[in-house]
Chain A
Amino acid sequence: MHNILDTLYNLPIDAFMGQLMLGLINGAFYAMLSLGLALIFGMLNIVNFVHGAQYMLGAMMAWILLQTLGINYWASLLLAPLIVGAFGLLLERFVLRRVYALDPAYGLLLTFGIALLLEGSFRQKLGSSGQPYAIPAELRGGWDLGFMYMPTYRAWVLVASITICFAVWYVFERTRLGSYLRAATEKPQLVRAFGIDVSKMINLTYGLGVALAAVAGVLAAPIYQVSPLMGSNIIIVVFAVVVIGGLGSMSGAIVSGFLVGFVEGLTKVFYPAASSTVVFVLMACVLLVKPAGLFGRRA
């Protein structure tokens, strides 16, 4: 393998592995974000266009907490999702709830508008350039694996995101709470008639989905810098990921998140010019063969 790559592409193996690793890291963020989107879409029937801005808010919150109160990365990893998640609870309770009865386009436009509002306000205050966020001391450095150099922080992001995705998947697919969520996704009215307060479940699900975006934002801060538009750059790809995985499928969101990251990484090695469009090509191909997405239950 080493020889073939060397001769055909004149590319050292560690650069190749490095690109794949970068792709996987991107994939970790795609997976966490599309998982939240899938969760929210299932329960609220709303395409949460403000998801990217909520991811940005997570990173921004970590940065603000550090700048103003000196709160470190580890505390922010907990605090930022709590604060942004609480904002999500209020947003659902007082704003989103008003459009459920209307055509889905209203939910889409409403969340899109809120995203523009949030991103605009931060750009007004901070400009659109990125602010650096230092990697916490415990996670600096890296390991030489022989075939590539593995920065500790990237390894941490991979482990953390896989753990988070697995935990959310497990709760949704394997626990009693998850069975309530799945049931309410299918037939909310009937679940109400069993004595369950579905409105509260919808509220908490939205809060959880938003908090998930915020965790991803904090994890991303040291890698991508903190900027008001960081969410709008990534969210378009994440929507493609959701479509590839199958709307409303948890495992589909996770698997296709990592898959898209991986494919993007490969494309960067072999044909860099296509690396930012390959995801949409992939989406078109999947839709042609399986209109419901890789893991979709049906069209």
Chain B
Amino acid sequence: MNEVSPAVLCVRDLHGWYGDSHVLHSVSFDVRPGQLVTLLGRNGAGKSTTLKAMMGLLDKRRGSILFRGKETIAAQANQIARQGLAYCPEDRGIFATLSVEENLRLPPKLREGGMGIDAIYRLFPNLKDRCKSGGTKLSGGEQQMLAIARILRTGADTLLLDEPTEGLAPVIVKQIGAVIRELKTLGYTILLVEQNIKFAAKVADQHYVLENGRVVEHIPHAAKADEVRAIANYLHA
């Protein structure tokens, strides 16, 4: 692991609120270029909230989020996206009033280097056959594919993925795992929220464990079997 290369994402002492409710209490972690880092934790630990805070979607946040060295804590969601950070929400965020193709083409091209439509259809062949149907007419697995596919067109090279395997059949989870590994070899930097530790351990370089809006554990070498087992026990305790 290259410890000297500067982090793409450097989160320090991040606090976040929904209205008056203080949910994130000092979250800090780093994501280095080309790495896949997971945020693990039980239900309600603050994983999704951390991604929302990074994307500028919370009512109120404080602390520091450096994206490629630039401070984004005060920026608005659309400005943050334009710097090359892309977000795939936990509920998948597929638009019912848009066709599959319209969903796919919705996020505008922000910079060069995004995947072309053909490359995307090669990675997700199901979507091509269904391109004229309504976005929410797809199966859960297909909607998840669509949610990932549509942020690959924009040229963003850093992806925030919120529980892409949640509620999906094992065979679909496998497909999504293959896609995520493919994205890694293509050079994407990925911050992945997961509860499925078996899945996370296969794709990740590092893990951070959240609890009550704080980072309680950092596992820098994700492949170590005994540590993974310890986390698995913790998550399902």
Q: Which residues of A contact B (CB under 8 A)?
A: 176, 179-180, 182-183, 185-187, 189-198, 297
Task: Decide: B93 and A190 in contact? CB cutoff 8 A.
Answer: yes
Q: Is B97 an interface residue (CB 8 A)?
A: yes
List B contacts of A198 (CB < 8 A): 78
Task: Decide: A193 and B57 in contact? CB cutoff 8 A.
Answer: yes
| Additional A-B contacts beyond A176-B105, A190-B87, A297-B96 (16; CB < 8 A) | A179-B105, A183-B95, A189-B57, A192-B57, A193-B55, A193-B77, A193-B87, A193-B89, A194-B78, A194-B81, A194-B106, A195-B78, A195-B81, A195-B107, A195-B110, A195-B154
User: What secondary structure prevails in chain B residues at the interface with A?
Assistant: loop
List A contacts of B97 (CB < 8 A): 182-183, 185-186
- In the bound complex, how far is the Cα of B76 from the Cα of A195, in angstroms? 9
B72-91, CB under 8 A of A: which get 1 and which 0? Answer: 00001110111000110100
Task: Decide: B95 and A187 in contact? CB cutoff 8 A.
Answer: yes
Partner of B93, one of A176, A187, A197, A297: A187
Within 8 A of A (CB), among B28-77: 55-57, 76-77
Task: Decide: A179 and B93 in contact? CB cutoff 8 A.
Answer: no
List B contacts of A197 (CB < 8 A): 78
Closest chain-A Cβ to B168's Cβ sits at a distance in Å of: 20
Task: Decide: B96 and A195 in contact? CB cutoff 8 A.
Answer: no
Q: Which 5 A-B pairs have the closest CB atoms?
A: A195-B81, A194-B107, A192-B77, A182-B97, A179-B102
- Give the residue among B80, B82, B96, B97 with the most A Cβ atoms within 10 A: B97
- In the bound complex, how far is the Cα of B110 from the Cα of A192, in angstroms? 13
List A contacts of B6 (CB < 8 A): none
- In the bound complex, how far is the Cα of B207 from the Cα of A8, in angstroms? 84
Closest chain-A Cβ to B158's Cβ sits at a distance in Å of: 13
List B contacts of A191 (CB < 8 A): 106
Closest chain-B Cβ to A148's Cβ sits at a distance in Å of: 41
- In the bound complex, how far is the Cα of B93 from the Cα of A183, in angstroms? 10
| Nearest neighbor of B93 in chain A, beta-carbon distance | A190
Within 8 A of A (CB), among B127-160: 151, 154
- Interface residue count on the B side (C-beta < 8 Å): 25
Task: Decide: A182 and B98 in contact? CB cutoff 8 A.
Answer: yes
Task: Decide: B95 and A196 in contact? CB cutoff 8 A.
Answer: no
| Nearest neighbor of B85 in chain A, beta-carbon distance | A193
- In the bound complex, how far is the Cα of B98 from the Cα of A90, in angstroms? 30
Q: Is B125 an interface residue (CB 8 A)?
A: no
Q: Which residues of B contact A (CB under 8 A)?
A: 55-57, 76-78, 80-82, 86-87, 89, 93, 95-98, 102, 105-108, 110, 151, 154
Task: Decide: B98 and A179 in contact? CB cutoff 8 A.
Answer: yes
| Nearest neighbor of B82 in chain A, beta-carbon distance | A195
11 example contacts (A-B, Cβ-Cβ < 8 A) are as follows A183-B98, A186-B95, A187-B93, A190-B93, A192-B56, A193-B80, A194-B107, A194-B151, A195-B154, A196-B78, A297-B96
- In the bound complex, how far is the Cα of B56 from the Cα of A176, in angstroms? 25
- In the bound complex, how far is the Cα of B95 from the Cα of A180, in angstroms? 10
List B contacts of A183 (CB < 8 A): 95, 97-98, 106
- In the bound complex, how far is the Cα of B127 from the Cα of A34, in angstroms? 36
List A contacts of B96 (CB < 8 A): 186, 297
List B contacts of A186 (CB < 8 A): 95-97
Closest chain-A Cβ to B92's Cβ sits at a distance in Å of: 10
- In the bound complex, how far is the Cα of B97 from the Cα of A187, in angstroms? 11
List A contacts of B98 (CB < 8 A): 179, 182-183
Closest chain-B Cβ to A96's Cβ sits at a distance in Å of: 19
List A contacts of B151 (CB < 8 A): 194
List A contacts of B87 (CB < 8 A): 190, 193
- In the bound complex, how far is the Cα of B156 from the Cα of A194, in angstroms? 10
Closest chain-B Cβ to A98's Cβ sits at a distance in Å of: 16
Task: Decide: A190 and B154 in contact? CB cutoff 8 A.
Answer: no
- Give the residue among A183, A186, A194 with the most B Cβ atoms within 10 A: A194
Closest chain-B Cβ to A298's Cβ sits at a distance in Å of: 10
List B contacts of A196 (CB < 8 A): 78, 108
- In the bound complex, how far is the Cα of B93 from the Cα of A191, in angstroms? 10
- In the bound complex, how far is the Cα of B93 from the Cα of A187, in angstroms? 8
List B contacts of A187 (CB < 8 A): 93, 95
Task: Decide: A182 and B95 in contact? CB cutoff 8 A.
Answer: yes
- In the bound complex, how far is the Cα of B227 from the Cα of A232, in angstroms? 71
Closest chain-B Cβ to A6's Cβ sits at a distance in Å of: 49
- In the bound complex, how far is the Cα of B56 from the Cα of A197, in angstroms? 13
List A contacts of B108 (CB < 8 A): 194-196
- In the bound complex, how far is the Cα of B93 from the Cα of A190, in angstroms? 7
List A contacts of B154 (CB < 8 A): 194-195
- Give the residue among B77, B102, B108 with the most A Cβ atoms within 10 A: B77
Task: Decide: B95 and A189 in contact? CB cutoff 8 A.
Answer: no
